């Protein structure tokens, strides 16, 4: 049963019928990943690219159709749109998709693979490529039944067989991406590698997760451990008791540490090397809010939010990058927020810190590329945690509905996205931001 009472009510028998009669929003409970779950339950229609069809049928053994069969329910529709040269070429694949949309399964996936529009392109090519962006974001708003639409945007030299294209396709088709909707993720390079096992892509890797005693951080620790990583969980001493519970559950170790301590980076590295012999993944998740309209902002509220949410990450990264011990395809994944992209009333301090995270990963990624490393950010929208439970009840109810999936996400939705960006297959995604917000209706 979800913490979202409204979602529970509109999916109940009598109350569900009543909600329908009244024309109220009817969010569908999302299906999340469970071990042993099949990648897709039903057939997938691949429109366009032969290479994508081969990957899905030969490598992953999915039931791939190249022409829509009448009356069949599709689990996913994948559109290969990498060779568009003029907007007029969009009509055929898009209208083919239109013909099967009403037969998309509950929780189905629409997925586009296209190329990034750049100023070097001929105007018609750029128009076609950018057109995919507008089209994809629109149909994501039309889908119902927990279905989502997302896409990959490939850099000019990136083939559809690149590890990050393959890894991302798998992530987006699966239930791991349940609350990611209306997003276009760039794949910048051919870097990265396919894991020996898709079930344990982080085997042999050591990860540190800050703010891991509860909420999203706790779920990230669970998810990275499930994917095979050895996990060090970090949180303030006041949260020490539950931190140990998490550490024991994930069979990792706990480090009580305030991330704003001047030696935080050194202590994290020292702990990871002493206890586990290496450090490969850092997830900067610790974060706080001290909301106030700017007119009422105090220096304490401004400074503490900036110190925890961004200055600590900059200092820890600097310590790791200069240590010489963070060099084996390292991964940094930072928690941003949709507030840092679209802005949010009463959160000038928080949004400055989260916008800062986005700038930081963009500028940090090139420093890691020589080691085959990446830095990326995940920007959650409304996620059901203790942080959002503190929002006044009415505002909270409204905030939950303001996205295409008409509900809040769960910590695990953010955790799955972090795990994907931390995985070997995501090596070609550098300095990017992936939103986990159910396609928030406000902002971009």
Give contact residues for ligand NAD (rule: CB under 6 A): 210-211, 213-217, 235-236, 239, 258-260, 285-288, 308, 335, 337, 380, 382-383, 385-388
Query: Cβ 354 to ligand NAD, closest distance in Å?
Result: 7
Q: What CA–CA distance (Å, rounded) separates 120 from 124?
A: 11
Query: In Å, what is the CA distance from 288 to each residue of 64, 261, 402?
Result: 46, 16, 23
CA dihedral 432→436→441→444, nearest 10 degrees, is -10
Nearer to ligand NAD, 78 or 254 (CB): 254
Nearer Cβ to ligand NAD (114/338): 338
Nearest approach, Cβ of 310 to ligand NAD (angstroms)?
Answer: 10
Catalytic residue, candidates 6, 172, 350, 420: 350
User: In terms of CB distance, is 337 or 376 closer to ligand NAD?
Assistant: 337
Total residue count of the chain as it appears in this document: 444
Annotated active-site residue 350? The verdict is yes
Q: How many CB atoms lie within 10 A of CB 300?
A: 9
Q: CB 4 → ligand NAD: shortest distance, Å? A: 13
Minimum CB separation from ligand NAD for residue 401, in Å? 14
Give the span between the Cα atoms of 59 and 51, in whole angstroms: 11
CB 380 → ligand NAD: shortest distance, Å? 4
The distance of closest approach from Cβ of residue 3 to ligand NAD in the complex, given in angstroms and rounded to an integer, is: 12
Q: Which residue number, 40 or 178, has a Cβ lying nearer to ligand NAD?
A: 178
Is the CB of 78 or the CB of 378 nearer to ligand NAD? 378
Paired strand residues for 282: 208, 332
Cβ proximity to ligand NAD: between 38 and 389 the closer is 389
Q: Give me the least distance between CB of 411 and ligand NAD, in Å please.
A: 6
Residue with Cβ nearer ligand NAD (154 or 213): 213
- Given the complex with ligand NAD, which of 158 and 259 has the nearer CB atom? 259
> Rounded to an integer, what distance in angstroms lies between the CA atom of residue 295 and that of residue 238?
32
**Tokens found for residue 274:** 């002493």
In which order are the strands placed within the sheet that holds 148-154? 64-65, 44-47, 74-80, 104-115, 148-154, 184-187
Catalytic positions are 350
């Amino acid at each position: 049963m979800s913490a979202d009472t409204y979602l529970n009510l509109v999916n109940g028998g009598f109350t569900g019928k009543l909600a329908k009669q009244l024309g109220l929003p009817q969010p569908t409970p999302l299906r999340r990943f469970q071990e042993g779950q099949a990648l897709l339950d039903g057939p997938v229609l691949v429109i366009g690219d032969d290479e994508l069809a081969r990957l899905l049928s030969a490598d992953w053994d999915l039931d791939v159709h190249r022409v829509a069969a009448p009356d069949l329910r599709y689990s996913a529709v994948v559109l290969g749109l990498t060779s568009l040269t003029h907007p007029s070429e969009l009509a055929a694949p898009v209208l083919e998709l239109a013909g099967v949309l009403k037969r998309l399964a509950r929780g189905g996936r629409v997925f586009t693979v296209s190329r990034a529009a750049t100023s070097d392109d001929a105007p018609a090519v750029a128009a076609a490529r950018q057109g995919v962006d507008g089209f994809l974001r629109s149909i994501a708003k039309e889908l119902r039944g927990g279905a989502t639409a997302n896409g990959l945007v490939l850099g000019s030299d990136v083939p559809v067989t690149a590890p990050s294209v393959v890894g991302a396709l798998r992530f987006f088709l699966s239930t791991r991406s349940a609350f990611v909707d209306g997003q276009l993720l760039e794949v910048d390079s051919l870097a990265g590698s396919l894991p020996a096992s898709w079930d344990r892509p982080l085997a042999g890797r050591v990860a540190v997760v800050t703010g891991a005693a509860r909420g999203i951080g706790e779920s990230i620790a669970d998810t990275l451990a499930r994917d095979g990583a050895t996990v060090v969980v970090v949180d303030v001493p006041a949260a020490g008791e539950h931190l140990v519970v998490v550490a024991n559950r994930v069979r990792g170790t706990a480090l009580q540490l305030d991330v704003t301590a001047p030696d935080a980076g050194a202590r994290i590295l020292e702990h990871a090397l002493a206890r586990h012999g290496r450090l490969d993944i850092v997830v900067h998740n610790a974060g706080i809010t001290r909301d106030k309209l700017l007119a009422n902002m105090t220096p304490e509220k401004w400074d503490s939010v900036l110190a925890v949410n961004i200055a600590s990450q900059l200092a820890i990264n600097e310590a790791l990058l200069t240590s010489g011990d963070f060099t084996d395809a390292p991964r940094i994944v930072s928690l941003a927020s949709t507030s840092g992209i679209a802005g949010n009333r009463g959160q000038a301090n928080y949004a400055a810190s989260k916008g800062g995270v986005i700038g930081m990963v963009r500028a940090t990624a090139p420093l890691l590329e020589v080691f085959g490393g990446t830095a990326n950010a995940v920007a959650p929208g409304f996620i059901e945690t203790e942080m959002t439970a503190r929002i006044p009840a009415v505002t909270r109810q409204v905030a939950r509905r303001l996205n295409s999936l008409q509900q809040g996400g769960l910590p695990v939705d953010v955790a799955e996205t972090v795990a994907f960006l931390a995985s070997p297959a995501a090596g070609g995604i550098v300095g990017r931001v992936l939103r986990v917000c159910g396609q928030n209706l406000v902002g971009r």
